[in-house]
């Protein structure tokens, strides 16, 4: 006779939302299930693949491909979501982003091995004649992807919809840039999906402090994150931050010092390239600001 415990069949599911000791997951047949988790397990994140037992307890969190996150006020990395292919960084003319928002997001994505795309929403509005808008062409020249969309007066989101394959796309940006409008335009049954979520969690309306995983109509997933006012990085070693500036690599190989911070060192080939125009100076200046920010964060 088998031990009844060994007959337990776990079912694979993907985490939709997660809080401190509970969450909601979506089974492969589309059904949603609320679950609790024991402390011995690492806290699951939206986007995690998990296994739930028959009675709805979390048994396994599968190994993650990557995580996206942000720095908390003390400079520690706080994961937000897992298993991402693409990160859509939404900005808009209104509210105009701080100049470094884009550079921080780009660095975070590249460091965490997630492909970033800058999405300029509200393309019906004139773009301010100031950074980061004046830097967008330069980013495209460097190989970064930038798309422009709008939700008003009539939606034009084709350039964005075309990017979303069968993978998982994170949607991130400041409050007010039109994230909810974009989610509604991309996912016609969005209200139905959040209605289901509210039913499963027993909450009346869908307001959440967690990132939320939504199913896209053509397959694939969208991971919507709560709007933020500012996006901050975490304290990290300099070589980690450097992974956020891959266009420096061909020059950095020629710096006199191997551990050059590309700041004030003699023989810095990155600074020389920025001065000669071989390397986009706005990215070099962003590097210097983020480097400085690291010093402030680590205090
Ligand atoms: P969220 O806070 O990022 O979720 O942003 P919302 O989707 O709530 O949108 C914030 C405001 O921007 C609302 O007043 C929207 O009507 C407006 N908005 C969204 N998309 C566009 C757009 O493409 N053009 C213009 N002009 N306004 C937009
Ligand atoms: Zn250097």
Per-residue pLDDT reduced to its tens digit, 268-287 = 999 999 999 999 999 999 99
83's tokens? 């298993």
What integer pLDDT is reported at residue 7 of this predicted model? 65
Class of domain 67-224: alpha beta
How remote is the CA of residue 95 from the centroid of ligand 1, in Å? 10
Measured CA angle at 249 (ends 248, 251), to 5 deg: 70
Across 150-284, the runs of DSSP E, i.e. the strands, are 168-173, 212-215, 221-224
Residue ranges in the chain modelled with pLDDT below 70? 1-7, 204-205
Give the ligand whose atoms come closest to the C-alpha of residue 179: 1
CATH of domain 8-61: 2.40.50.140
Alpha carbon of 170 to ligand 1 centroid (Å)? 18
Other C-beta atoms within 10 Å of 66: how many? Answer: 16
Tokens of 263: 């700041």
Domain 8-61 shares a fold with domain 238-298: no
Q: Which CATH superfamily is domain 238-298 in?
A: Probable gtpase engc; domain 3 (1.10.40.50)
Whether 187 lines ligand 1, by a CB cut-off of 6 Å, is no
∠ Cα 198 204 206 (to 5°): 55
Nearest to 122 by CA among 144, 161, 153: 153
Quick check: 127 and 133 in contact, CB under 8 A?
A: yes
Instruction: Give the nearest ligand 1 atom to 149 CA.
Output: 23
Q: How far is the CA of 121 from the centre of ligand 1 (A)?
A: 8
What is residue 25's three-state secondary structure? strand
Give this prediction's pTM: 0.95
Residue 138, phi then psi, degrees to nearest 5: -65, -40
Domain ranges of the chain: 8-61, 67-224, 238-298
pLDDT score recorded for residue 151: 97
Q: Which ligand is nearest to the CA of 186?
A: 1
Whole-number average pLDDT of the chain? 93
Q: Report cis status (omega within 30 of 0) of the bond before 153.
A: yes
Instruction: For residues 206 and 194, give the distance between their C-alpha atoms in angstroms, rounded to a whole number.
Output: 6
Q: Which atom of ligand 1 lies nearest, measured to the CA of 175?
A: 2
């Amino acid at each position: 006779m088998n031990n009844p415990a060994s007959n337990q069949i776990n079912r694979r599911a993907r985490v939709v939302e997660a809080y401190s000791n509970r969450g909601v997951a979506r089974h492969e047949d589309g059904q949603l299930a609320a679950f609790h988790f024991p402390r011995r397990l690492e806290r699951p994140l939206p986007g995690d693949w998990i296994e739930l037992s028959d009675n709805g307890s979390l048994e396994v969190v599968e190994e993650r491909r990557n995580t996206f996150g942000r720095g908390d006020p003390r400079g520690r990395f706080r994961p937000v979501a897992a298993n991402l292919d693409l990160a859509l960084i939404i900005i808009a003319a209104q509210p105009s982003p701080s100049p470094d928002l884009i550079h921080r997001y780009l660095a975070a994505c590249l460091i965490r091995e997630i492909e970033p795309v800058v999405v300029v929403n509200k393309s019906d509005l004139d773009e301010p004649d100031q950074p980061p808008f004046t830097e967008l062409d330069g980013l495209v020249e460097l190989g970064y992807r930038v798309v422009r969309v709008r939700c008003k007066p009539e939606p034009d989101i084709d350039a964005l919809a075309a990017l979303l394959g069968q993978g998982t796309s994170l949607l991130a940006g400041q409050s007010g840039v039109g994230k909810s409008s974009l989610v509604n335009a991309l996912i016609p049954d969005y209200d139905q999906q959040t209605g289901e979520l509210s039913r499963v969690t027993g909450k009346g309306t869908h307001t959440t402090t967690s990132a939320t995983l939504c199913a896209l109509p053509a397959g694939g997933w969208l991971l919507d994150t709560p709007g933020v006012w500012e996006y901050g990085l975490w304290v990290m070693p300099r070589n980690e931050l450097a992974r956020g500036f891959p266009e420096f690599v061909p020059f950095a190989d020629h710096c006199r010092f191997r551990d050059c911070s590309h700041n004030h060192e003699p023989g810095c080939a990155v600074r020389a390239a920025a001065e000669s125009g071989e390397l986009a100076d706005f990215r070099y200046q962003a590097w210097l600001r983020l480097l400085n920010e690291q010093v402030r964060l680590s205090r």
